[in-house]
Chains A and B, each alone.
Chain A
């Protein structure tokens, strides 16, 4: 298969000149001044740049550790484009849209996660139990933010994960796996996706008589999640791992904070 440039503004004569094997990298290397007109419109947040540099280091090590063995040859971190926040005592509702413009047709989705960074200033170790409710939101034409608090029916089983904070680590990254939910949207090659995300975190404490549950301070300090897509680019210019190399997909482990944040469905937890 040839590299499909439907998303690229490659000058036709250049790609013909190099027989259409031009990856974005070769295009930049081979043209005299290709980067002259390249000025990123939006500069990503340095926190996410640091996060992706760690992913880069782990993924590109020649002697990959078994944990980092993976099959993806592409990963894309997409920060939210639009955001509407609604909050009351019960909910922290976010209406977020992500642009999937850069995802190419040959990039097959392996895993997609919502990447949260929780900042805290606790002195004592603290564990919060967070519940995440995600559903696709049809963009309303006339206004960017349409009010949803009244419509709170769930679209996917509630995802839950724990966030353990301690004094040493001020920022905790959590990847929440939403692959099964996002897969159909990404496979449909949508250019934009609009999600309605409701995240509620409570202090993960043993319920006391009276069942009072305390709202966790963690929820208040998190920012809108970015979308991290792990993809397998099937085009010729991308590195193809041979099956014989015996590397299996192990994208379930969260290899950033040494602990695997595997999501648990509420029903299994009850069981």
Chain B
């Protein structure tokens, strides 16, 4: 569960120093599971493992540039801090995904290759 500290958008100028220590700010985490663990390996013959990843952490006040968050995220932060703390802070959620390809044996014995949409989180954002 160590955060991948390289989760910075490519558009970020290189001037900003990299995080050199783990923080509890919004970040992407691994979550590896094997299909045999899920008792699905007689159906899914490839891949053997699946890492959907997930986002976790709090959203700092200045969330705009670093996480590519929409402007509204700052507005929600201001509402939380200045106007009504029952309105939740912006949340750390996935913003981009990769598909997952699987090879399965169908119950009539045929073999199917399939690509499923949005099965692996690749980036996090605050919103």
- Main secondary structure on B side of the interface with A: strand
Q: How far, in angstroms, from A40 to B104 measured CA to CA in the complex?
A: 11
Question: Is B87 in contact with chain A by the CB < 8 A criterion?
Answer: no
Question: Is B39 in contact with chain A by the CB < 8 A criterion?
Answer: yes
Q: Across the interface, do B45 and A49 meet the contact criterion of CB distance under 8 Å?
A: yes
Q: Across the interface, do A239 and B115 meet the contact criterion of CB distance under 8 Å?
A: yes
Kindly list chain A residues whose C-beta atoms are within 8 Å of the C-beta of B109.
40-44, 79
Known: A35-B42, A40-B105. A48 touches B111 (CB 8 A): yes
- Main secondary structure on A side of the interface with B: mixed
Instruction: Return the chain A residue nearest B33 by Cβ.
Output: A29
The one of A52, A56, A75, A102 that contacts B108, using a Cβ cutoff of 8 Å: A102
Kindly list chain B residues whose C-beta atoms are within 8 Å of the C-beta of A99.
108, 110
Known: A44-B110, A59-B101, A78-B110. A240 touches B117 (CB 8 A): yes
CB distance from B48 to the nearest CB of A (A): 11
Q: How far, in angstroms, from A75 to B101 measured CA to CA in the complex?
A: 11
Kindly list chain B residues whose C-beta atoms are within 8 Å of the C-beta of A24.
104, 114
Kindly list chain B residues whose C-beta atoms are within 8 Å of the C-beta of A236.
117
Known: A28-B43, A239-B99. A56 touches B107 (CB 8 A): no
- CB neighbors of A among B1-55 (8 A): 38-40, 42-47
Question: Is A108 in contact with chain B by the CB < 8 A criterion?
Answer: no
Known: A74-B112, A239-B99. A39 touches B107 (CB 8 A): yes
Instruction: Return the chain A residue nearest B41 by Cβ.
Output: A35
Kindly list chain B residues whose C-beta atoms are within 8 Å of the C-beta of A53.
45-46, 103
**How many residues of chain B are within 8 Å of chain A by beta carbon?**
30
Q: How far, in angstroms, from A238 to B100 measured CA to CA in the complex?
A: 10
Q: How far, in angstroms, from A74 to B46 measured CA to CA in the complex?
A: 14
The one of A25, A29, A39, A55 that contacts B113, using a Cβ cutoff of 8 Å: A55
Kindly list chain A residues whose C-beta atoms are within 8 Å of the C-beta of B42.
35, 38-40
Kindly list chain B residues whose C-beta atoms are within 8 Å of the C-beta of A55.
113
Known: A41-B108, A102-B108, A239-B99. A74 touches B113 (CB 8 A): yes
Q: How far, in angstroms, from A24 to B103 measured CA to CA in the complex?
A: 12
Q: Across the interface, do A23 and B40 meet the contact criterion of CB distance under 8 Å?
A: no
Kindly list chain A residues whose C-beta atoms are within 8 Å of the C-beta of B44.
25
Q: Across the interface, do A56 and B112 meet the contact criterion of CB distance under 8 Å?
A: no
Kindly list chain A residues whose C-beta atoms are within 8 Å of the C-beta of B106.
40, 102
Question: Is A237 in contact with chain B by the CB < 8 A criterion?
Answer: yes
CB distance from B51 to the nearest CB of A (A): 13
Q: How far, in angstroms, from A73 to B100 measured CA to CA in the complex?
A: 10
CB distance from B90 to the nearest CB of A (A): 25
CB distance from A6 to the nearest CB of B (A): 15
Kindly list chain B residues whose C-beta atoms are within 8 Å of the C-beta of A73.
99, 114-115
- CB neighbors of B among A221-260 (8 A): 233, 236-240
CB distance from A42 to the nearest CB of B (A): 3
Q: Across the interface, do A239 and B117 meet the contact criterion of CB distance under 8 Å?
A: yes
CB distance from B118 to the nearest CB of A (A): 8
B contact residues vs A (CB 8 Å cutoff): 38-40, 42-47, 98-117, 119
Ordered nearest first, which 9 A-B pairs have the shortest CB separation? Answer: A42-B109, A60-B101, A239-B99, A239-B115, A75-B113, A73-B115, A56-B103, A77-B111, A52-B111
27 interchain pairs (CB within 8 A)?
A24-B114, A25-B119, A35-B42, A40-B108, A41-B107, A41-B108, A41-B109, A44-B105, A44-B110, A48-B111, A52-B111, A53-B45, A53-B103, A56-B101, A56-B103, A57-B46, A62-B98, A73-B114, A73-B115, A74-B114, A75-B113, A76-B111, A78-B110, A79-B110, A99-B108, A99-B110, A239-B101
